[in-house]
Structure 1
């Protein structure tokens, strides 16, 4: 039984965390490392309730493997029909993971009636000028209102996962 299936009786959005910049923190040595899922604190600070946070990985997205992406697909597939799923993810390989999920979660040619939204942050949530809270809030709303499918949501914009890419020169998704 997957974590989603084990929590199927809980309403709300399933938030699967994978690490990435959104979860990075400064160590006492002044280096950045993946910390605990930032989603929990961001949602508590906003007074948001009714979400199930499932820590899956704690990796920089450049270190994600095909096995990691297969695990995410398995977890999404294990969520109940009609579920709203948000995945927090590092921005460098977010489009690749999205396309993997599109291919491996029943969203090609038909749908299993789940809405999956991938989001992250260009600045860690621990930083005062982070985009993390805005992106997470936007993703949660999008997951509850968009039609079933797989999407990337960054900076208040919904992107088609089949064509989205990160423009590193602009520091934006296009």
Structure 2
């Protein structure tokens, strides 16, 4: 007996509903790339401050987080197992390559990177410059080791996976998720040596929040990143040497001269106030610039921009102003920019764009 048109239509609608339901219930595929850090650290007891970073494997970390596999289908890879004070450009380049490989596949929807907090902002900003994907790339860490009473790592990892699995996190550049906050790699900075709320995004604010896997987003990053970035580290095995020199009262210019003699291609000054330094140091910077070394004025102050030609005549001295990048991020940008020859004016433009 041939079914009626109405019955056939009902069956068709039911099949569509079932199909949409199956798609909606399909879990995302998230890969966790582990590098070590406090989140993988262990101590002799739960109440001691001393601990050793990078002692716990990625599988053990995932197994310690209840219900995390309900968020996504998770795979883990151990890229390195170091405290982030030992993070290197070699490891960063390895991470960038692996992220590119994973993001190019259909069975990876997002990537989480476990990382120590000491240099996390540098790795995040580096990846933000060189990784070409709109898929979520999320760094996560902790301020307390895995063995501590009230360890913050498990919930941080849970929220990071929730963000990496979230389609709404796409095309927001490299993110950092810790203590319920979602930061942009462009804006985050570490502001406390020990507090769990160690990361802040001064001036421009958070990308969003993630509370027990429930995500809310406020904005997109303001500068270039990802596919819009001009930087490419394909085949790169080493970055140019760029030194950071800290400015203070009555500073000596000797370290600036020594940096040039030792082969630095760039120097970032962590200047006082608006990227300032005393006259003898400015003279040393001018000498370095004339010798072909790119000199960038940043600031040791936590917030605020360093602009051109305010108290220092950058045009006359041949210097570059870091704009809103702190010294450590200014160094990352300069290291990547110097992979090809550029004049100071070209470098200056990059600080406004990135």
Question: What's the TM-score once normalised by structure 2's chain length?
Answer: 0.42
- Which of 120, 130, 135 aligns to 1:94? It is 120
- SS of the residue corresponding to residue 56 of structure 2 reads coil
1:35 aligns with 2:35: no
Give deviations 1:72-98, integer Å, cap 9, x for gaps. Answer: 101100103463000000001111000
C-alpha distance in structure 1 between counterparts of 2:61 and 2:183, whole Å:
23
- Which of 149, 154, 157 aligns to 2:181? It is 157
- Which of 127, 135, 139 aligns to 1:118? It is 139
C-alpha distance in structure 1 between counterparts of 2:121 and 2:149, whole Å:
26
More strand by share: 1
Whether the aligned pair in 2 keeps the contact of 1:98 and 1:152 (CA below 8 Å) is yes
Ranges in structure 1 where 5+ consecutive residues have no aligned partner: 1-10, 107-111
1:1-174 superposed matches below 5 A = 12-26=29-43, 32-37=52-57, 39-45=58-64, 46-49=66-69, 50-81=73-104, 83-106=109-132, 112-145=133-166, 146-148=169-171, 149-168=173-192, 171=195, 172-174=198-200
C-alpha distance in structure 2 between counterparts of 1:141 and 1:157, whole Å:
12
- SS of the residue corresponding to residue 158 of structure 1 reads strand
Q: Partner residue of 2:352?
A: none
Whether the aligned pair in 1 keeps the contact of 2:41 and 2:53 (CA below 8 Å) is yes
C-alpha distance in structure 1 between counterparts of 2:103 and 2:137, whole Å:
12
Whether the aligned pair in 1 keeps the contact of 2:96 and 2:130 (CA below 8 Å) is yes
Choose 1 or 2 for highest CA Rg. Answer: 2
- Deviation of the 1:34 alpha carbon: 2.2
Give deviations 1:11-45, integer Å, cap 9, x for gaps. Answer: 621000000001111369x85242132x4234324
C-alpha distance in structure 2 between counterparts of 1:27 and 1:170, whole Å:
18
C-alpha distance in structure 1 between counterparts of 2:193 and 2:42, whole Å:
24
Superposition RMSD on alpha carbons, in Å? 2.1
Count the aligned residue pairs.
157
Q: Could you list the structure 1 runs, at least 4 aligned residues long, displaced by more than 3 angstroms after superposition.
A: none
Instruction: Point out which structure has higher relative CO (alpha carbons under 8 A, 6+ apart).
Output: 1
Ranges in structure 2 where 5+ consecutive residues have no aligned partner: 1-27, 201-354
- SS of the residue corresponding to residue 141 of structure 1 reads helix
Q: Structure 2 vs 1, CA of residues 142 and 31 (structure 1 numbering), >3 Å: closer, same or farther?
A: closer
Whether the aligned pair in 1 keeps the contact of 2:68 and 2:158 (CA below 8 Å) is no
Question: What's the TM-score once normalised by structure 1's chain length?
Answer: 0.82
Whether the aligned pair in 1 keeps the contact of 2:39 and 2:143 (CA below 8 Å) is yes
